[in-house]
């Protein structure tokens, strides 16, 4: 038997998943690592902690699976996007902590660039809005504030890139300096139409184009792991940013295919095929996973607070003792009795992009009880997802009839039923809901010729459950009108 090892390097933990060649999970291991908050708005990771966690979970997963090094066919990587690491080309040592995608230290710089009128140019080339969320301003900050970065740059010894590039370099013993299209498309330095690092963007953020890694398709032979580093030498056959990997893992291969990942936030990606739509409705454009050099695109929208609102009900309000209890309470009442909960705890993401918006509960009466509030919280997740999917349909002028779902909150039956109703679309839930790692597995398996094409992959993870919409249009309109009023109130100053 041969096996594929997938590294799923996330924001708070790292996992290694061992798959057999049929796509079945044989074993996995997960390890959390430290979150570093030097001051308000700053978020960092220690790159050495990340690398240590990768090596640890691979070793543990292989031990659990009783798999020998000689049985590993290849390795794949899916990773947190936008997070930036800089390191010494000769020693491999990081010169500073990783600046995490959540880090807001460069927000003033991004606001300055917007005020100077650069956003239309940036959006046209990258599909992104100017924001500290993306990598470019983080790279610029390191190059300007870290003395070691300046000295290494002068000696041509500086490496800088996203987490995938850092892991590739380290796992290959310093032999591979590459990234993939999906991660490159999140840097705000990559021209997604011409598939190249853009000199004008690099000049704007003062990042020398020559220090950036080579960009390759997501399904690609990147090189080999170093025996001295991991104990074995195998091909690295795939790399993909986590949300694009999830889109691929959901088999959203056709134009119009939409997936939602319900995590701490909610991430929606809609495959737009060979056409890169420039959103007029608060979304961003990004590159899909590719197996070839021909680009394919997606519209993306992020909801800042999704499943986190359930944790808030449990940990701060103490209205529930477990996440599962939220479903029971929501189903115990016929409606919210007019209550709406807007979880704008850190502002509102797509399509509003209002960081000053505030969370609120509105519509409370003397008859309001905890079940109404819990139900309103779950409905609030679905309303936010619907806001983004509605923006996608407006941009493409095409109705969405099916939404594929994954992530922890997708196990909540009430939420899925309400999502189907409020979005007027069938919700499709796959058998294996861990589709982010599965996407990286598919990409690696394709590179290794285990599958003849995309149609073969569709058979691996069948749809387990379908939630069809059952709500009539009049009721849907009344509910959405109430939500839109609540959203306006959350943004009123």
Residues 410-445 have pLDDT tens digits of 889 999 999 999 999 999 999 888 899 999 999 999
Confidence of residue 311 (pLDDT cuts 50, 70, 90): confident
Number of H helices, E strands in the chain: 17, 23
Structure tokens at 77: 């990587």
Residue-averaged pLDDT of the chain = 91
**For residue 381, what pLDDT is reported?**
95
What are phi and psi for residue 391, nearest 5 degrees? Answer: -60, -40
Burial class (CB in 10 A: 0-12, 13-18, 19+), 322: exposed
Pick from 392, 414, 324, 394: nearest CA to 403:
392
pLDDT mean over 319-345? 92
pLDDT mean over 318-331? 91
Angle at 477 between CA 473 and CA 479, to 5 degrees: 120
| Rounded Cα gap, residues 280 and 298, in angstroms | 14
**For residue 357, what pLDDT is reported?**
86
Confidence of residue 480 (pLDDT cuts 50, 70, 90): very high
**Residue bearing the bigger pLDDT, 446 or 347:** 446
**Residue bearing the bigger pLDDT, 328 or 354:** 328
pLDDT mean over 401-409? 90
pLDDT mean over 280-307? 88
- What lies within 8 Å, CB to CB, of 112 at 6+ separation is none
Contact call for residues 45 and 34 (beta carbons, < 8 A): yes
- Neighbouring CB atoms inside 10 A of 346's CB total 15
**For residue 323, what pLDDT is reported?**
85
Confidence of residue 287 (pLDDT cuts 50, 70, 90): very high
Question: What does the DSSP 8-state code read for residue 277?
Answer: -
pLDDT mean over 372-398? 94
- What lies within 8 Å, CB to CB, of 279 at 6+ separation is 285, 299, 391, 395
Contact call for residues 28 and 81 (beta carbons, < 8 A): no
Whether the pLDDT of residue 206 is over 90: the answer is yes
Structure tokens at 196: 């190249």
Pick from 80, 72, 81: nearest CA to 17:
72
How far the first Cα of the chain sits from its last, in Å, is 62
Whether the pLDDT of residue 493 is over 70: the answer is no
pLDDT mean over 240-249? 93
Q: What are the start-end ranges of the H helices in 195-307?
A: 199-204, 227-230, 242-249
Whether the pLDDT of residue 63 is over 70: the answer is yes
CA distances from 218 to 99, 374, 434, 465, 477 (A): 23, 41, 19, 29, 41
pLDDT mean over 188-215? 95
Whether the pLDDT of residue 292 is over 80: the answer is no
**For residue 350, what pLDDT is reported?**
85
Whether the pLDDT of residue 295 is over 70: the answer is yes
Element (H, E) at 171: helix 163-171
Contact call for residues 283 and 300 (beta carbons, < 8 A): yes
**For residue 50, what pLDDT is reported?**
94
Three-state SS at 269: strand
Which of 153-167, 210-224, 457-471 is predicted least confidently?
Answer: 457-471
**For residue 409, what pLDDT is reported?**
85
| Rounded Cα gap, residues 444 and 238, in angstroms | 5
**For residue 375, what pLDDT is reported?**
95
Q: For strand 178-180 and strand 72-79, is the pairing parallel, antiparallel, or unpaired?
A: unpaired
**For residue 356, what pLDDT is reported?**
81
Residues counted in the chain: 493
Confidence of residue 353 (pLDDT cuts 50, 70, 90): confident
Angle at 490 between CA 402 and CA 43, to 5 degrees: 80
- Rounded to the nearest angstrom, the gap between the alpha carbon of residue 425 and the centroid of all alpha carbons in its chain is 23
Q: What percent of the chain has pLDDT over 90?
A: 69
pTM above 0.75, yes or no: yes
**For residue 258, what pLDDT is reported?**
93
**For residue 459, what pLDDT is reported?**
80
pLDDT digit string, tens, across residues 76-102: 999 999 999 999 999 999 999 999 888
pLDDT mean over 321-331? 91
Confidence of residue 212 (pLDDT cuts 50, 70, 90): very high
Q: Scan for tokens 């839930």, then name that residue.
A: 429
| Rounded Cα gap, residues 72 and 302, in angstroms | 36
| Rounded Cα gap, residues 298 and 270, in angstroms | 5
Confidence of residue 171 (pLDDT cuts 50, 70, 90): very high
| Rounded Cα gap, residues 430 and 404, in angstroms | 8
Question: What is the torsion angle, in degrees rounded to the nearest 10, for the CA atoms of residue 336, residue 340, residue 345 and residue 350?
Answer: 120
| Rounded Cα gap, residues 327 and 312, in angstroms | 15
Whether the pLDDT of residue 54 is over 90: the answer is yes
CA atoms within 13 A on the CB side of 195: 17
Rg (CA), the chain: 22
């Amino acid at each position: 038997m041969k096996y594929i090892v997938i590294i799923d390097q996330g924001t708070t933990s790292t996992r290694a998943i061992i798959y057999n060649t049929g796509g079945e999970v044989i074993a996995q291991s997960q390890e959390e690592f430290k979150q570093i908050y030097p001051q308000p708005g700053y978020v960092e990771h220690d790159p050495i902690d990340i690398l240590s966690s990768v090596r640890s979970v691979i070793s543990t997963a292989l031990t659990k699976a009783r798999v020998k090094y000689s049985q590993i066919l290849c390795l794949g990587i899916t990773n947190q996007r936008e997070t930036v690491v800089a390191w010494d080309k000769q020693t491999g040592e990081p010169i500073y902590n990783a600046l995490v995608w959540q880090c807001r230290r460069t927000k003033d710089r991004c606001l300055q660039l917007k005020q100077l009128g650069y956003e239309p140019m940036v959006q046209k080339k990258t599909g992104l809005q100017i924001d500290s969320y993306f990598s470019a301003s983080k790279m610029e900050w390191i190059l300007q504030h870290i003395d070691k970065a300046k000295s290494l740059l002068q000696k041509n010894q500086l490496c800088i890139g996203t987490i995938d590039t850092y892991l590739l370099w380290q796992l290959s013993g310093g032999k591979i300096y590459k990234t993939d299209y999906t991660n490159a498309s999140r840097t705000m330095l990559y021209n997604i139409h011409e598939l190249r690092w853009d000199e004008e963007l690099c000049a704007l953020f003062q990042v020398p184009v020559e220090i950036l890694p080579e960009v390759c398709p997501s399904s690609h032979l990147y090189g080999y792991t170093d025996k001295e580093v991991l104990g074995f030498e195998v091909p690295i056959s795939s790399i993909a940013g986590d949300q694009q990997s999830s889109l691929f893992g959901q088999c959203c291969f056709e134009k119009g295919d939409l997936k939602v990942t319900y995590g701490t936030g909610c991430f929606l990606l809609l495959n737009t095929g060979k056409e890169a739509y420039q959103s007029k409705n608060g979304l961003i454009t990004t590159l899909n996973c590719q197996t070839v050099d021909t680009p394919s695109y997606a519209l993306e929208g992020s909801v800042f607070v999704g499943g986190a609102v359930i944790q808030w009900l449990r940990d701060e309000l103490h209205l529930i003792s477990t996440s599962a209890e939220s479903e029971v309470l929501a189903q115990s009442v016929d409606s919210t009795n007019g209550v709406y909960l807007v979880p704008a705890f850190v502002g509102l993401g797509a399509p509003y992009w209002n960081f000053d918006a505030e969370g609120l509960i509105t519509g409370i009466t003397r008859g309001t009880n905890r079940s109404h509030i819990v139900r309103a919280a779950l409905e609030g997740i679905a309303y936010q997802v619907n806001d983004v999917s509605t923006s996608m349909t407006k941009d493409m002028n095409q109705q969405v009839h099916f939404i594929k779902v994954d992530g922890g909150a997708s196990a909540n039956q009430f939420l899925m039923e309400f999502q189907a109703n409020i979005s007027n679309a069938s919700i499709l839930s796959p058998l294996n809901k861990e589709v982010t790692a599965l996407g990286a597995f598919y990409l690696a398996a394709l590179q290794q010729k285990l599958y003849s094409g995309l149609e073969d992959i569709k058979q691996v993870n069948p749809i387990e459950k379908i939630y069809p919409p059952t709500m009539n249009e009049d009721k849907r309109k009344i509910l959405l009108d109430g939500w839109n009023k609540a959203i306006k109130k959350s943004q009123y100053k």
